[in-house]
Amino acid sequence: MTQASIIDGKAFAEGLRGKVAELAAKFEPAAGRKAGLAVVLVGEDPASQVYVRSKGKQTVACGMASFEHKLPEDTTQDVLLALVDQLNADPLVDGILVQLPLPKHLDEQAVVDRISPSKDVDGLTPISTGRLALGLPGLVPCTPLGSLMLLKDRLGNLSGLNAVVIGRSILVGKPMAQLLLGENCTVTIAHSRTQDLPEVVRRADIVVAAVGRPEMVKADWIKPGATVIDVGINRLPPAEGSEKGRLVGDVDFADASTVAGAITPVPGGVGPMTIAVLLRNTIVAAHRNADLALAEDAI
């Protein structure tokens, strides 16, 4: 029985952060300032707090300025929008990321819409989304772009390959499909209403799973030799005598690894790429905002 190659997102992300740090070191003397990333956190969500803290540390480690804005749970829509306006106008800020999800009383889409497209390092504003759909240069959502980087590093030219994206969210599924179309793949977006989902997935040379259902994709769904990118992060209930449940993806890793040609693990696959690509997007935005040339395809 063959065993799939493991796609090491942790190692790739480390290399990407190294490239960002080199560019940041050159950017500072050329622009007369550091590239800057502002992260806005509303409320006390523990997972979001850990994520924001990690973003801040990695931003500073790459030689860029980190601006963290922590607001209370009961922050009003007007106060949050005013902060976004302030960051849009701040010449020291190149990227703005509002940590999602926001508390339920806030209108997430209105907040995202308020971010200047030139600082939209999460790639979620309507203008960023439209530019991606039109194949124009722009800032692209971090997780899909990181997934594409892993695919291209593993497979090289993706042109002509059949790709199935399981999930149609605006955060991953839809932008992932657009990126794969841009690489000349034949793309199918599958979702909860797709008929005979396993049969659809079996036709794919590339499978990207982003549905949030633990270990849903099994070995008999996978075409032998296919490349599998597992975007899902799900925590299973803790076993008896254990405090924490283990993290698993949307793909049954042990099962699918016996059929796939290459596969990302969870954790250690796509996850580390998300923050690394956020830093990449920030240095790209900084060069654009400072009107400095950058070979963006090189990072």
Tell which phi-psi region holds residue 215, choosing left (phi > 0), alpha (psi between -120 and 50) or beta: left
pLDDT of 244: 80
Same domain assignment for residues 89 and 147: no
Residues 66-118 pLDDT 10s: 999 999 999 999 999 999 999 999 999 999 999 999 999 999 999 999 999 99
Would 133 be classed as within a structural domain? no
Distance, first Cα to last Cα, the chain: 37
Would 82 be classed as within a structural domain? yes
Preceding amide of 72 cis, omega within 30: no
Examine the fold and report which residue of 116, 134, 166 is the final residue of a domain before the chain moves on: 116
Residue for token digits 């907040």? 111
Same domain assignment for residues 80 and 146: no
Find residue 206's DSSP bridge partners. Answer: 163, 227
CA dist list (Å): 179 to 192, 213, 245: 22, 23, 33
Same domain assignment for residues 108 and 161: no
pLDDT of 240: 73
- Following CA atoms 117, 273, 4, 245 in sequence, which dihedral angle do they give, to the nearest 10 degrees? -110
Would 9 be classed as within a structural domain? no
Beta-sheet pairing, 247-248 with 206-209: unpaired
Burial of 54 (0-12, 13-18, 19+ CB in 10 A): exposed
Same domain assignment for residues 194 and 73: no
Same domain assignment for residues 151 and 266: yes
Q: Is residue 243 over pLDDT 80?
A: no
Distance between CA atoms of residues 23 and 25, nearest Å: 5
Give the DSSP H or E segment for 284: helix 271-289
Q: Which residues contact 218 (CB under 8 A, 6 or more apart)?
A: 198, 252, 255, 256
Diameter of the chain by CA atoms? 59
CA dist list (Å): 220 to 177, 194, 249: 23, 17, 17
pLDDT of 273: 97
Q: Is residue 1 over pLDDT 70?
A: no
Q: Is 69 helix (H, G, I), strand (E, B) or coil?
A: strand
Same domain assignment for residues 98 and 189: no
Looking at per-residue pLDDT, the higher value among 242 and 277 belongs to 277
- Domain residue limits at 160: 142-272
Average pLDDT over residues 183-199: 96
Assess contact for 27 and 17: CB atoms under 8 A: no
Number of domains observed in the structure of the chain: 2
Would 258 be classed as within a structural domain? yes
Q: Is residue 251 over pLDDT 70?
A: yes
Q: At CA 100, angle to CA 94 and CA 102, rounded to 5?
A: 115
Same domain assignment for residues 194 and 109: no
Same domain assignment for residues 102 and 174: no
Q: Is residue 269 over pLDDT 70?
A: yes
Would 169 be classed as within a structural domain? yes
Q: Which structure tokens are listed for 146?
A: 């990181």
Same domain assignment for residues 174 and 250: yes
Average pLDDT over residues 146-164: 98
Same domain assignment for residues 260 and 149: yes
Average pLDDT over residues 170-176: 96
Distance between CA atoms of residues 247 and 64, nearest Å: 31
Assess contact for 144 and 3: CB atoms under 8 A: no
What CATH number did the domain enclosing 44 receive?
3.40.50.10860
Name the nearest CA neighbour of 267 among 233, 218, 222. 233
What CATH number did the domain enclosing 261 receive?
3.40.50.720
Same domain assignment for residues 152 and 257: yes
Same domain assignment for residues 257 and 162: yes
- Catalytic positions are 55, 99, 122
